[in-house]
Structure 1
């Protein structure tokens, strides 16, 4: 169900969005705890064997964007996102296994995972995501996936 998020098609790059404005130190701490590895900010000079993290802010319902570089390939992205969501007590969006541009996996603060749809607008600061709703199959964006829209 969450295949793409569990595969590593990008060589250890995860792109998440958190449903709260979070401090970069708090994000790095939650990542370090979940991954049991050293996590440093992207601009750090101490990067030996560390997971790199970039945290920046945009508007919208998921204002903290989290890019994780050199993520461990031995851990499923959904598992990591779920553990980080629990530690931060904040919902986290991550890519799902479809080609549908509005569908994501939501890692809830209680550790659960579910599919949702989110409207996204690209801005100069990064993607702004709003209007989250459950993926029920009834959503027009889900009912007519990209392969059907092109027909």
Structure 2
């Protein structure tokens, strides 16, 4: 089964820099999505689409053709370390404002953002930690049913 990954990075990052960091982190060929002859794509290659918007984490990265056996969390942790920037990936709550923040050292923790829909897509702002100190993260909230419960922190070495 082939997977699709959607990540965001801290700051504006050029598509070429994203592809180089992914290729280095995952040790696979990485090609831009547009303008590629699919018949000539090497086996195991990732196709990557990168675009920019405003707000926090303005660079969006979509990875197509990811093998299902490749663990996403470890991959994004390695990618964040190679890139030297924090990244966001969706968590398991289906809450549009809740993400996993992967620090530049690969450490992972759940966070929340305010989400505003625009013509250019979702804009994230006002990052805050997902913590039991927040009334929105206690009790029966989706945060409590997540694999990534409030206040959880996965150290860099465990994330890889």
**TM-score band, normalised by shorter chain:** 0.7 to 0.9
- The CA distance in 1 between the partners of 2:87 and 2:135, in whole Å, is 23
- The CA distance in 2 between the partners of 1:22 and 1:82, in whole Å, is 17
Q: Return the match for 2:101 from 88, 91, 106.
A: 106
TM-score normalized with structure 2 length: 0.79
Total equivalences in the alignment: 138
Give how far 1:61 is off.
1.1
4+ residue segments displaced more than 2 Å: 44-49, 137-147
Report whether the alignment pairs 1:125 with 2:116: no
| 2:6–2:63 Cα contact (<8 Å) kept | yes
**Partner in structure 2 of residue 25 of structure 1:** 16
Q: Return the match for 2:41 from 47, 63, 67.
A: 47
| 2:9–2:60 Cα contact (<8 Å) kept | yes
**Partner in structure 2 of residue 80 of structure 1:** 75
TM-score normalized with structure 1 length: 0.83
**Partner in structure 2 of residue 37 of structure 1:** 28
Structure of higher CA gyration radius: 2
Distance 1:133 1:31, change over 3 A: same
Task: Output one character per residue of 1:84-128: Cα deviation in whole Å (capped at 9) or x when no partner.
Answer: 111111100001122333211111101111111111122222221
Unaligned runs of at least 5 residues, structure 1? 1-7
Give how far 1:146 is off.
5.5
Task: Output one character per residue of 1:121-148: Cα deviation in whole Å (capped at 9) or x when no partner.
Answer: 222222211111111033344336359x
Give the secondary-structure state (helix, strand or coil) at the position aligned to 1:70: strand
- The CA distance in 2 between the partners of 1:34 and 1:117, in whole Å, is 26
Q: Return the match for 2:87 from 79, 85, 92.
A: 92
Distance 1:141 1:53, change over 3 A: farther
Task: Output one character per residue of 1:47-71: Cα deviation in whole Å (capped at 9) or x when no partner.
Answer: 2322010000000011100011111
- The CA distance in 2 between the partners of 1:145 and 1:110, in whole Å, is 29
1:132-151 alignment runs, 5 A limit: 132-143=127-138, 145=141
